[in-house]
Structure 1
């Protein structure tokens, strides 16, 4: 399960946040979201197409209209499970983990080109999804498709946000990915859909594949333990 375009239009994500006392204080108002869009667009020529850099769920579930997609490379940032998710893909008791762009290294993703005529409407939907609690910072970055470079908006992690997990241990990362689940489905499904989405466009992320093997092993161990417990009763 994932957020749909209809979900974003009806405010489903905002409604989920309002159900969580942990997240409600961080919910951005419509005015705050629009102010963020306006500030971001100050660096963009008006009435021109705009590029968005996708590195996680926006690859397999973009939910916005675009007229072109390219596989690109971004330097200076890497994909990382560094955002706690007490709703959506987890619960307050067992938060999930969501990908963010954290400082350093590099990663490949997909750049989507939004037509100039669609920029205003599509960015509103995108901000309602990515900026709902201000856990990301919209930032202009330079991405490369071969030798060709384009400026794109990327949602990088806000390291000052309370949901930023910082230097979460490998063991805790694996445990969250293997066990957390919320109203939008399991964290493991989100994780595996991201790997599949990357593979669909020819991107192989070795770090995610390393984590995948360990997450699957952890899920298997929990399954075996549950079966053993049932058999002993």
Structure 2
């Protein structure tokens, strides 16, 4: 019996294919970056994409492994979306966010693949003639701040072993948070917000996607348990693209390392 293709619910929010395509999201992220944060230029993004695609045959489709927001908001065109697993990498909230879903005063945390273990997610097959167009959008989405490395991995996709592209944590980057205790990580996830919304909304949508896919992730379950133990905090307001947003009170700030190495 063939593996069923996956369907995705519509997502209403600031991160859309249209905003990635017309450059407005990129412009907004650059405009909202705090002083001292180094972001890649359009030329640097293009050069990075060229380097990654140098080893991929131009006439072949490309598999992309998604493990976070790509599971619930792909915003790309693809031929297939199938259950996938990679070995040697784990899903982890290990990148500090000072923009998008956090601020320097109330930093958030973003998911990445980090070393060790295994990870179940989704494999997206992109048509050969659309690879560069779709990856250009992904580079604007994932590679702007330098906190991710694009990496080719071996993945089990729909029961077959395939080479896939994914985004792993750049451990050399100052905003790499490492392996935080669940309680500390959840305090940031539960309180941070920025121009793209709150970290808590990102977390909740990721949890919902994992549940739809029947994926049980031990690290995510530990974070959910930590969330249940968090004491209530006084509300604070953060101004986002969609207006003032109420979040919990401030937590201890992440290291003030805003520049790329």
TM above 0.5: yes
Tell me the alpha carbon deviations over residues 186-209 of structure 1, each in whole angstroms, 9 at most, x when there is no partner. 111100100111222221212212
Secondary structure of 2:233's counterpart equals: helix
1:96 aligns with 2:108: yes
Q: Name whichever structure is richer in helix by fraction.
A: 1
The alignment covers a number of residue pairs equal to 222
Unaligned residue ranges in structure 2 (runs of 5+):
1-12, 236-261
Deviation at 1:16, TM superposition (A): 2.1
1:2: Cα distance to partner?
4.8
The one of 36, 41, 46 aligned to 2:53:
41
Range with bigger deviation, 11-20 or 27-36: 11-20
Aligned to 1:215: 227
The 3 A distance-change label for structure 1 pair 19 and 2 is closer
Q: Contact conserved, 1:178 with 1:216, CA < 8 A, in 2?
A: no
1:19 aligns with 2:32: yes
C-alpha distance in 2 between matches for 1:97 and 1:23: 19
SS in 1 for 2:232: helix
The equivalent residue for 2:182 is 170
Normalised by the length of structure 2, the TM-score is 0.80
SS in structure 2 of the partner of residue 106 of structure 1: strand
Q: TM-score, normalised by structure 1?
A: 0.89
Structure 2 equivalent of residue 182 of structure 1: 194
Cα deviation for residue 153 of structure 1 reads 0.4
Rounded Cα–Cα distance in structure 1 between residues aligned with 2:204 and 2:228: 10
Tell me whether 1:149 sits opposite 2:153 in the alignment: no
Contact 1:14/1:132 (<8 A) preserved = no
Distance 1:61 1:73, change over 3 A: same
Provide the aligned C-alpha RMSD in A: 1.8
Q: 1:147 to 1:111 in 2, by over 3 A?
A: closer
Match of 1:55 in 2: 67
Q: CA deviation at 1:210?
A: 2.1
Tell me the equivalent position of 1:206: 218
Contact 1:17 1:23 in 2 (8 A): no
Is the counterpart of residue 159 in structure 1 residue 171 in structure 2? yes
1:93 Cα deviation from its structure 2 partner: 0.2
**2: distance between equivalents of 1:190 and 1:153?**
22
The answer to whether the 8 A contact 1:78-1:107 is kept is yes
Question: Do residues 121 (structure 1) and 133 (structure 2) align?
Answer: yes
Offset at 1:177? 1.1
- C-alpha distance in 2, partners of 1:221/1:63? 35
